[in-house]
Amino acid sequence: MSKQLRLALVLLLVVLTAASGMLFVVAATSPGTGYDPSKVKLDVKLITRSELVTAAYKVYGDDNQDMWAAKTLIKNTGKMPVYDFKISYKVGELTDWTSGQDYPVIAPGQTVRDYCWPTLDPTRVNAITTKTPVELVMKYEYRGLKEPAEDYQKIFLLGRNDFVFSSIPEKDRVTFADSFDNYRFIAAFITPNEETIKSFANMIGAGLETRTSDDDAYQAFERAFDALRAQGVKYIMEPDAFWAGSAAQYVQYPKETIDRKSGTCLDLAITMSALMEAIGIKSYVALIPGHAIPLIEMPESGDVYAIESTFLDKDYALTKHGDVVSADVTAGECITLASKEIKQAQDQGEIVMINPSYWWKAGVMPSW
């Protein structure tokens, strides 16, 4: 047999093998003559988040995150395969229909999970100022189904200042961190590029090499504390319900805290964090039992310092904690006190550390 003939036979065998594979794929994903849609049995369960945090609404549309708005469990409980299963979602008037994945075939006994990553309309979301109910609709169809089937769930979109710290039901929370399951969203309230914050930060960082010098970064931390005090910013208490486990709070953006000259411990920590980030200093916000504390990381040594930002309100510090501070309630004192608070929380395993720059890179960006 000549080389040319052998080569031709090999090529013919390859073509026939590929063709048979294609026929197998078509046969596996196409209904046979015995296909009867009336005998299809599906268990379709829609699961939604009860609330969406609109401060970072864009993250719900990012399928690289795990913050889906809804998911659907589709189980074929019958003996008949399901062909060409298609699913889509709609969130009130905030989205058009959002297509999920198409499933050419769902075999008997097979379960698939589909996720809703909605692209919410920014103008409509921005208009939401209080907790607002909307209807999330899931629609599906498959070959032979006479008309699409639908399921509905009510979800709530929080106002731009509303925050829920955990999506885990209270009865299911085991650790301290479980109570702050949504902690990443705090990063969306930290706005270093907002004009008021940039202007304030320029004053604080003037003449300092905050990106390269530990001494200058430390001095900027103290300056920010003193500048907010000079601005007349006061500390206001959180509602008891927040720390009692209802896990909800009205959270201000830094500009609002400066303009209103008041804020909760979380508002003040967020504002300090934004000011530090605006002048190139890496910052954190720590959540500990009943409190929130801002921290910074030194650019040279990597050392971390915290500050008791509520004590920028000198009257509050002297009235409630006059036994642990001097009459001047200096920034240096407040750094020493906060370091002790952080150490105690770490020793007890009751601390959640929020790294805003990490979460910004992950897509939890300020939306406004």
Please give the domain boundaries of the chain with CATH numbers for all domains.
Answer: 37-157 (2.60.40.10), 165-361 (3.10.620)
Q: Please give the chain's pLDDT, 368 residues, in tens.
A: 555 556 555 455 544 555 455 444 444 455 655 789 889 999 999 999 989 999 999 999 999 888 899 999 999 999 999 999 999 999 999 999 999 899 999 999 999 999 999 999 999 999 999 999 999 999 999 999 999 999 999 999 999 999 988 878 888 888 999 988 899 999 999 999 999 999 999 999 999 999 999 999 999 999 999 999 999 999 998 765 544 445 678 999 999 999 999 999 999 999 999 999 999 999 999 999 989 999 999 999 999 999 999 999 999 999 999 999 999 999 999 999 999 999 999 999 999 999 999 999 998 988 77
The enclosing H or E element of 115 equals strand 111-116
- In 3-state terms, what secondary structure has residue 52? strand
What pLDDT does residue 359 have? 95
Contact 117, 72 (CB under 8 A): no
What confidence score (pLDDT) does residue 225 get?
98
pLDDT, position 312: 97
CA–CA separation, 99 and 168 (whole Å): 27
- Tokens representing residue 286 in the block: 């720590």
How far, in Å, CA of 32 to CA of 39, rounded?
14
Name the pTM for this structure.
0.84
Bridge partner residues of 111 (DSSP): 75
Beta carbons of 232 and 255 less than 8 angstroms apart:
no
Q: Which two tokens mark 190?
A: 């930290």
